[in-house]
Amino acid sequence: MQCGVVPHSESCHHASAFIGCSIRKRKDRTPVSPAVSGVSVSEIKAVQTPHSEEKIVSASHHLHGPRAGETASLLADYRELFKLRVTLMVMLTAWAGFYLGSMRSGISSMQPGLLEALFGIGMVSAGSAALNECIERRLDAKMIRTANRPLASGRISLPHGILLGMLAVAVGTVWLTRETNLLTGTLTLLTAFLYVAVYTPLKRVTSLATFIGAFPGALPPLLGWVAARGQIEWPAVALFAILFVWQFPHFMSIAWLYREDYGRAGIRMLPVVQPDGWSTVLEALTYAILMIPVSLLPVWLHVAGRIYGGVALVLGLIYLGYTIRFGRIIRARTISESKMYARDLLKVSVIYLPLLLTALMLNATGK
Ligand code: HEM
Ligand SMILES: CC(C)=CCC/C(C)=C/CC/C(C)=C/COP(=O)(O)OP(=O)(O)O
């Protein structure tokens, strides 16, 4: 049987390996076991009907040829390597900072400076994500959620990952320094350093790592502001505070959802070291309550108007409501019930933030 352009081997014997196998054929032949690929045995059986692989291979050859398949898989791997969705969210938060900063300067944020800042911050964020995946490739291979990442499953080699990661961080930093200002370049590099060199190794040591990780996580909107204004000012600190506080319900829901995974990999998330769930709920609740006054800081600083204040209040109450509901994980009768509460909070967290920032930008006063 053929897989891609070369003869099929045992490394391509199941569905998920099949998707990326043509790349691995060129680079290395590390076998991908079901445990490592993150696909359950039942899922594999479900897709392995007789001759299903031949049908898919020949269909793909007819439609696009082997090269198109390889390029598509490589692009999919880069999307995972650079954590595209998180990087896009980082860019959105940086845009909010840049937008408010430009308004304070009395200029439109729709200027080449915006694209220059977002390109640089996005590059450094993507590069940091790749370096994080290089460092954590062995841990990622032990977790179902991350086992199919390109480095964890061997589709992208370590030198390849390190090279791309370093290059993206370097290009992004130099670009920001040249096109925006030295302070933005320096702070963005510091953000990458905190994420890659401080938070990432600490995950195996202490559950406090998430508190440390919240600092680089909260810096992008401040970076956007500094790119527009050249200095750190109070509204930028308020944006930092909003992002900082937002992260706790966000990642407490994730930590609960994937606690078996984290435990398997030896990552000391709160639900791993204190499995009863009380401390996880308490931490998420504390920050969800704090989220309401903190999200109103832009009104207090006269950066946004009352409409934003009303929207922030409603959104904050919804976020708090879902976090209170998340508290039911302690008494949930089944694992799937408790995971449902966590999954719902995770979804709400990633909807809440763009909505809040959009409201802030739409009702900005320019002061
Ligand atoms: C210490 C802080 C943070 C931790 C530990 C964390 C962890 C995670 C994890 C593990 C996921 C994957 C969930 C899944 O696969 O179901 C996730 C999803 C996500 N995170 Fe975070 N995160 C943090 C901060 C942030 C920040 C600062 C942003 C952006 C501003 C962000 C944006 C997102 C988005 C958009 C998703 C959903 C998209 C996806 O699953 O790829 N996170 N987060
Ligand atoms: C400009 C710049 C450098 C921005 C980067 C800021 C940023 C997105 C920080 C991430 C915050 C964070 C701790 C995420 C969890 O990652 P994780 O590695 O624990 O997630 P994983 O388990 O999915 O790998």
pLDDT, averaged in runs of 10, over the chain (367 residues): 28 30 31 35 32 36 59 92 97 96 88 94 98 97 95 96 98 98 98 98 92 97 97 98 97 94 90 91 97 98 96 98 97 93 97 97 89
Mutate-to-test residue for ligand 2 from 177, 199, 259, highest number of ligand atoms within 8 A of CB:
199
What is the C-alpha separation between 168 and 229, in angstroms, rounded? 24
Quote the pLDDT of residue 109: 78
Q: Confirm if 221 and 239 have CB atoms less than 8 A apart.
A: yes
Per the listing, tokens 């430009």 go with 102
- Indicate if ligand 2 lies below 6 Å from the C-beta of 196: no
pLDDT of the residue at 65: 54
- Does the beta carbon of 209 sit less than 6 angstroms from any atom of ligand 1? no
Q: 229-234: long-range contacts (C-beta < 8 A, 24 or more apart)?
A: 229/101, 229/104, 229/105, 230/181, 230/183, 231/183, 232/183, 233/104, 234/301
Strand-pairing partners, residue 364, are: 304
Both tokens assigned to 240: 């930092």
| Type of residue at 48 | Q
- Choosing from 121, 124, 132, 250 the residue with most ligand 1 atoms within 8 A of its CB, the one to mutate for a pocket test is 250
- pLDDT value at residue 108: 80
**Which atom of ligand 2 is nearest the CA belonging to 121?**
1
304 DSSP assignment = B
Gap between the Cα atoms of 216 and 32, Å rounded: 33
Q: What is the pLDDT of residue 366?
A: 79
Specify the pLDDT at position 207.
Answer: 87
Alpha carbon nearest to ligand 2 atom 13, residue: 213
Q: Is the CB of 338 under 6 A from ligand 1?
A: no
Cβ 86 under 6 angstroms from ligand 2: yes
Any atom of ligand 1 within 6 Å of the Cβ of 210: yes
**pLDDT of amino acid 46:** 34
Per-residue b or e along 301-326, where b marks 16 or more CB atoms closer than 10 Å to that residue's CB: eebbbeebbebbeebbeebbebbeeb
Architecture category of domain 76-232 in CATH: Orthogonal Bundle (1.10)
How far is ligand 2, taken at its centre, from the CA of residue 255, in Å?
Answer: 14
- Determine contact, residues 127/87, Cβ cutoff 8 Å: no
Q: Do residues 124 and 249 touch, judged by C-beta distance below 8 A?
A: no
Closest ligand 2 atom to the C-alpha of 132? 18
pTM of this prediction exceeds 0.80: yes
- The token pair at 77 is 């791997």
Tell me the C-alpha distance between 28 and 159, whole Å: 13
86 CB within 6 A, ligand 1: yes
Residue written as tokens 């704090």? 290
| Among protein residues, the one whose CA lies closest to atom 32 of ligand 1 | 86
- Site to probe by mutation for ligand 1, drawn from 81, 83, 84, 86 as the one with most ligand atoms within 8 Å of Cβ, is 86
